[in-house]
């Protein structure tokens, strides 16, 4: 090939006998003349040919050369600027340039390849979505990287594209050896060939995220495992061709693997999960398994070998039974486990959940969702075994009642800081009689949302058991009245900071009055959305006492212009940053001046659904409160 084309650096291409052409290659509107000098030539008009004279064919054109020859010519261009200009000639030239590795370019004149100062930020991170993600776009990025920095991209994310194939991914791989993070979501045409090219060229790869990639099989992931020993994070979701052998290779060849997530991959079973966990046990700290056909065997391996696992998430495992969770807990190998999440696993019962309390003394955060076989007995037994529990969240655990919650609060000692109950239909008001319950003085955050059976009695008991609350969320408890909430307000000793009462439409101004009276010096966030019996009196109480309030939501309440005016009269003392009066039909154009006064500190204002405020007034507000983000 050197006999055919040889770059002498003087702007000429030579063959064995002499010059073929004088660097005046037809590159569109620019040509090379002399030593790296670009001269602009406007496109000339084509000569009109007579019907009898066929258009002459330029047999000396470089376009008649095959790709192999063009490859050798383009890789000998004297500098990166010339290569970039050449990539604009045609798609063919661009395609050939993307097939040239950085190591294959002649280093005759690359002194102008200077890394830019901002490459470590946005210039080396690209995210392409939908129609913007094509092979040509990736090819252009690959060629462009050679101008600003020879190492290219560090992070690449491609989402929702049917126009990206192995060709585009391979182009990036050949141009970006420093690539450390690759994310492919819903990329249907990228398969093993593209992933293998990434593996061979991007040896520094640390994070790989494959989601809905039906063309990628175990071969592509095995290549990544063999050539990328620095891999620390692996996420696989809905990849039907990836099987056990791929995870086995990752476990054996990636000694730095710290986090893995495997979801909805039908070919992955016990062999893959057990091999991965047992091989990567010294470094593996985060494991997320969802929708796999694994059995009790995998959980036994996790319980025995997961000595470095600090976060474990298990969800939708239909083939795992009570015995699997029991063995995992009693194996006592999860000595560093701090966070445990279990969702939709029928194997979680009172017996197996109680056994999980033996995992170790480090467990602090527990999340259970749709575990319908866990009742009060298992919950209390678990909380007694885990003396370090700080966060407990139960969602749609319908066999747990108020009795179990009170038992957890009473037995959790001085560590439990946050308790969340979401959509637990088993919560019914109970009469606990003369039960001796100790208060949980460590509890700082309580959330009881959309539990329709939770009423005044339950709130009264929780108020007595949690006197040090700072964050209270009772969203969606439409059966709650003033009588249930007042004990929590009055018995609190720490001072409430954030209160969410949205959807509690039976509450009245009395609750807000006492809330402002007892906690006005600490309250920062108050949400009363949908409390239709809350009126202007509440705004007057807030204006008088809640001097540190930053976020106030009065959407769909019974307030009027008078209430907004009362709030604005305290604008010199208030530091309100976010105000929402959305859906308040009695707030009208008369509130223009009060809202302008409040705008001194406002950063966000929501007046959507305030039909009494005209468009002209809204425009005036936007012009006056130019610092404020107004939703109308």
How much is the pLDDT for 108?
Answer: 42
Ordered structural domains, the chain, with CATH: 6-43+62-104 (no CATH), 121-284 (3.80.10.10), 495-632 (3.80.10.10)
The confidence band for 478, taking pLDDT boundaries of 50, 70 and 90, is: confident
Is residue 560 classed as helix, strand or coil in its secondary structure?
coil
How much is the pLDDT for 118?
Answer: 39
pLDDT in tens, 389-433: 999 999 999 999 988 998 888 877 678 999 999 999 888 877 655
How much is the pLDDT for 175?
Answer: 83
State the chain's maximal CA–CA distance in angstroms.
112
1 vs 561 pLDDT, higher one: 561
Mean pLDDT computed over every residue of the chain: 84
How much is the pLDDT for 508?
Answer: 95
pLDDT in tens, 171-213: 899 888 899 999 999 999 999 999 999 999 999 999 999 999 9
User: In the 3-class helix/strand/coil scheme, how is 19-68 assigned residue by residue?
Assistant: EEECCCCCECCEEECCCCCEEECCCCCCCCCCCCCCCCCCCCCHHHCCHH
pLDDT in tens, 515-549: 999 999 999 999 999 999 999 999 999 999 999 99
The confidence band for 138, taking pLDDT boundaries of 50, 70 and 90, is: confident
Phi, psi angle pair for 134, to nearest 5°: -140, 170
Alpha-carbon gap, residue 384 to 609, rounded angstroms: 50
How much is the pLDDT for 98?
Answer: 66
Q: Are 549 and 571 in contact (CB under 8 A)?
A: no
Phi, psi angle pair for 526, to nearest 5°: -140, 120
The confidence band for 293, taking pLDDT boundaries of 50, 70 and 90, is: very high
pTM (global) more than 0.75: yes
How much is the pLDDT for 227?
Answer: 97
Q: Is the pLDDT of residue 95 over 90?
A: no
Q: Are 318 and 295 in contact (CB under 8 A)?
A: no
pLDDT in tens, 579-606: 999 999 999 999 999 999 999 999 999 9
pLDDT in tens, 207-234: 999 999 999 999 999 999 999 999 999 9
How much is the pLDDT for 622?
Answer: 92
Alpha-carbon gap, residue 139 to 91, rounded angstroms: 10
Q: Which of 478, 531, 471 is nearest to 496 (CA)?
A: 471
Q: What is the mean pLDDT of residues 432-452?
A: 82
- The region of weakest confidence among 298-302, 355-359, 447-451 is 355-359
For the chain, state the CA radius of gyration.
34
Q: Is the pLDDT of residue 3 over 60?
A: no
69 vs 181 pLDDT, higher one: 181
Q: What is the mean pLDDT of residues 141-161?
A: 75
Q: Is the pLDDT of residue 17 over 70?
A: no
- The region of weakest confidence among 350-359, 409-418, 468-477, 615-624 is 409-418
- The region of weakest confidence among 67-81, 425-439, 569-583 is 67-81
User: In the 3-class helix/strand/coil scheme, how is 373-426 assigned residue by residue?
Assistant: CCCHHHHHHHHHHCCCCCEEEEECCCCCCHHHHHHHHHHCCCCCCEEEEECCCC
High-pLDDT (> 70) share of the chain, %: 78
How much is the pLDDT for 454?
Answer: 86
High-pLDDT (> 90) share of the chain, %: 62
Q: Would you list the DSSP string of 447-505? A: EEES-TT--HHHHHHHHHH-TT--EEE-TT-TT--HHHHHHHHHH-SS---EEE-TT-T
The confidence band for 12, taking pLDDT boundaries of 50, 70 and 90, is: very low
How much is the pLDDT for 63?
Answer: 66
How much is the pLDDT for 76?
Answer: 66
The confidence band for 362, taking pLDDT boundaries of 50, 70 and 90, is: confident
């Amino acid at each position: 090939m050197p006999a055919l084309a040889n770059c002498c650096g003087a702007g000429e291409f030579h063959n064995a006998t002499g010059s073929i052409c004088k660097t005046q290659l037809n590159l569109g509107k620019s040509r090379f003349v002399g030593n790296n000098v670009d001269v602009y030539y406007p496109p000339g008009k084509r000569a009109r040919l007579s019907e009898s004279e066929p258009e002459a064919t330029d047999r000396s054109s470089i376009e008649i050369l095959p790709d192999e020859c063009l490859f050798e010519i383009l890789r000998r261009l004297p500098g990166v600027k010339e290569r970039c200009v050449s990539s604009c000639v045609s798609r063919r030239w661009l395609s050939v340039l993307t097939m040239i590795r950085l190591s294959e370019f002649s280093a005759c004149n690359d002194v102008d390849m200077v890394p830019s100062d901002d490459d470590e930020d946005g210039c080396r991170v690209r995210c392409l979505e939908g129609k913007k993600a094509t092979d040509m776009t990736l090819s252009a990025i690959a060629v462009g990287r050679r101008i600003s920095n020879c190492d290219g991209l560090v992070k690449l994310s491609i989402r929702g594209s049917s126009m990206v194939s192995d060709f585009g991914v391979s182009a990036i791989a050949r141009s970006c050896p420093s690539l450390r993070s690759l994310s492919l979501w819903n990329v249907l045409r990228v398969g093993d060939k593209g992933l293998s090219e990434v593996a061979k060229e991007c040896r520094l790869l640390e994070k790989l995220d494959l989601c809905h990639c039906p063309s990628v099989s175990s071969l592509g992931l095995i290549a990544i495992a063999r050539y990328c020993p620095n891999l620390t994070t692996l996420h696989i979701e809905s990849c039907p061709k990836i099987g056990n052998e791929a995870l086995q290779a990752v476990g054996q060849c990636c000694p730095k693997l710290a986090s893995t997530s495997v979801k909805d991959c039908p070919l992955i079973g016990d062999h893959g999960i057990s091999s991965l966990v047992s091989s990567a046990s010294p470094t593996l700290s985060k494991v997320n398994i969802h929708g796999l056909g694994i059995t009790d065997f995998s959980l036994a391996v996790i319980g025995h070998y997961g000595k470095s696992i600090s976060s474990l998430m298990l969800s939708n495992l239909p083939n795992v039974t009570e015995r699997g969770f029991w063995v995992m807990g009693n194996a006592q190998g999860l000595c560093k486990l701090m966070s445990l999440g279990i969702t939709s696993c029928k194997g979680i019962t009172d017996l197996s959940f109680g056994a999980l309390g033996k995992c170790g003394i480090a467990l602090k955060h527990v999340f259970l969702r749709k575990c319908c076989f866990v009742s009060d007995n298992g919950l209390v037994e678990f909380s007694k075994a885990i003396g370090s529990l700080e966060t407990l969240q139960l969602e749609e655990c319908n066999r747990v009642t108020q009795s179990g919650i009170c038992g957890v609060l009473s037995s959790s000692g001085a560590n439990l800081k946050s308790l969340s109950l979401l959509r637990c239909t088993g919560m019914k008001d109970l009469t606990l009689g003369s039960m001796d319950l100790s208060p949980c003085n460590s509890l700082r955050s309580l959330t009881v949302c959309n539990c329709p059976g939770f009423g005044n009695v339950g709130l009264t008991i929780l108020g007595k058991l949690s006197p040090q609350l700072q964050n209270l969320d009772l969203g969606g408890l439409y059966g709650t009245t003033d009588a249930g909430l007042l004990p929590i307000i009055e018995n609190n000793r720490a001072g409430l900071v954030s209160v969410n009462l949205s959807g509690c439409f039976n509450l009245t101004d009395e609750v807000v009055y006492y809330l402002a009276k007892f906690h006005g010096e600490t309250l920062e966030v108050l949400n009363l959305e949908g409390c239709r019996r809350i009126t202007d009196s509440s705004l007057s109480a807030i204006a008088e006492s809640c001097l540190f309030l930053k976020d106030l939501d009065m959407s769909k309440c019974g307030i009027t212009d008078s209430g907004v005016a009362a709030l604005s009269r305290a604008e010199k003392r208030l530091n309100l940053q976010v105000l929402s009066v959305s859906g308040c039909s009695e707030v009208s154009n008369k509130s223009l001046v009060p809202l302008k006064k409040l705008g001194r500190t406002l950063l966000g204002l929501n007046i959507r659904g305030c039909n009494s405020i005209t468009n002209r007034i809204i425009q005036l507000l936007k012009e006056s409160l130019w610092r404020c983000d107004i939703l109308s």
